[in-house]
Amino acid sequence: MSEIIDTDIAIIGGGPAGLAAALNASKRGARVAIIERDFELGGILQQCIHNGFGLTYFKEELTGPEYAQRFMDLLKETNVQIFLDSMVIDLSADKIITAMNPERGILKIHAKAVILAMGCRERTRGAINVPGMRPAGIYTAGTAQRLINMEGYMPGKRVVILGSGDIGLIMARRLVLEGAKVLVVAEVLPYCSGLVRNFVQCLQDYDIPLYLSHTITDIKGKERVKSVIISKVDENWMPIKGTEKVYECDTVLFSVGLIPENEISLKAGIKLDITNGPTVNEYLETTVPGIFACGNVLQVHDLVDWVTLEAERAGENAYAYSTNTSRGGKLLEPILTVPGENVGYIVPQRIDYLQDSKIVQFSFRPKSPDKNCIIEFVSNEKVFDKRKAKHIIPSEMLIYKIKLNPEEIGEKITINIKKNLKKSKEEA
């Protein structure tokens, strides 16, 4: 009863990652299919109507829809097959995708290689266990963004925002521009977790207070939110008694992080990392051969430009896989990358091929902010490469291309972010 579709490369998700991967693979001559659950391509970019996109990739400042449109226009010139309004309900390790859509029913897409580009979802109030009542008026920041920018509805009039992630900051400004009152943004961390430019342009410019080391400790209201209580927290994020402040409001937005959305990946038996994304090798290939991952489904990025660049690599690698291009001899045991001092995670999680010297791109995030740092790449207890970083902050991903020489590399590669003591002393 199902329709069978044969393709070289099937891409799950038509957001920025899926678009860039599709274009790159198609350019090389692959037959490509994109499966997108929404009614249009572009993903979350379509609801990001603010500017600030494309500074790295296009060297100009675009809005989200403009950024997406550039790729969608290029896609029109290709013969990439696009399935809109189509939900992937299964993915098997032998790279058969089961999807459904209203027009064509059930589709079985047989691919030589698959690229996961499903993006992420927002962490919710439930996931961080904020207590209180459960009335109407509690939204994640991205849902509020969709309601306002895509649907044209206001989630509320007096708003408190928990979390200083970028979407929360952007939404604070957006709500003000639409006539709502944003009372406060509370952040449990002792520093702003969004980009500095967003803090300046979205909060400071609109006189919206940011309370660091604060969290919501109660939400009141039976039918609709009536008020929230915000408390200061200690270094273990535990609320400090006596610091409670009451804010009368009708809406609470949560902007408390993003989680790569890998339920489909799990169906294919793909292993996930602490990133909540698949563990991948230097080709962005998951633990299932021929299934690749890129964009926010792999690791949450702060700039879409990095998503595009990562997705282009995935498109290229998937194309090479689909044409049986040799990568050289595979290592008997992979070289594992290990997050060391002040490193939260590393992508890739393993190196599978290292016959000759080669350049590998590492992306990772610091656990806490610091300045005047040295980033060490260590193997066999020796620092084989190091880089300087003036300012590091968890909200900004670090990306380095590092040359790996098989003679220097042992079973593991550890990355440490260390204080540059000499430099700090000089400054002091």
- Is residue 244 at the binding interface for another protein, with CB under 8 A as the rule? no
How many Å apart are CA 80 and CA 57, to the nearest integer?
A: 22
Measure the CA–CA gap between 99 and 128, rounded to whole angstroms: 32
> Which of the ranges 10-18, 70-78, 127-135, 342-350 carries the binding residues for another protein, by CB under 8 A?
127-135
Binding mask 7-46 for another protein (x = CB under 8 A): ------------------------------x-x-------
In contact, 100 and 278? CB cutoff 8 Å: no
Q: Residue 186: name the closest of 242, 146, 237, 220 by CA.
A: 237
Residues in the chain: 428
Binding of another protein by 218 (CB under 8 A)? yes
Q: Are 34 and 83 in contact (CB under 8 A)?
A: yes
In the complex, least distance from residue 408 CB atom to another protein, rounded to whole angstroms: 36
Determine which residue in the list 6, 29, 133, 204 makes contact with another protein, applying CB under 8 A. Answer: 133
Decide if residue 240 touches another protein (CB under 8 A).
no
Instruction: Return the ∠ at Cα 305 (arms to 190 and 56), rounded to 5°.
Output: 95
Structure tokens at 67: 């950024």
67-106 residues near another protein, rule: CB under 8 A: 85, 87, 89, 98, 100-106
Segment near another protein (CB under 8 A); pick from 22-30, 66-74, 142-150, 340-348: 142-150
Size of the site for another protein (CB under 8 A): 58
Tell me which long-range contacts 330-339 makes (C-beta under 8 A, separation of at least 24). Answer: 333/411, 334/281, 335/379, 335/409, 335/410, 335/411, 335/412, 335/413, 336/411, 336/412, 336/413, 337/362, 337/412, 337/413, 337/414, 337/415, 338/412, 338/413, 338/414, 338/415, 339/364, 339/414, 339/415
Q: Which residue of 16, 54, 132, 163 would you call a contact of another protein, by CB under 8 A?
A: 132
What are residue 135's DSSP bridge partners? Answer: none
CB of 358 to another protein, least distance (A): 36
Interface stretch with another protein, choices 58-66, 136-144, 296-304, 416-424 (CB under 8 A): 136-144
Considering only 139-147, 163-171, 308-316, 325-333, which stretch makes contact with another protein by CB under 8 A? Answer: 139-147
Of 191-199, 222-230, 290-298, 304-312: span binding another protein (CB under 8 A): 222-230
Tokens of 239: 């609320």
User: Which residues lie near another protein (CB under 8 A)?
Assistant: 1-2, 37, 39, 85, 87, 89, 98, 100-106, 121-122, 124-129, 131-137, 139-140, 142-143, 146-148, 150-157, 178-179, 217-220, 222-224, 239, 250, 263, 266
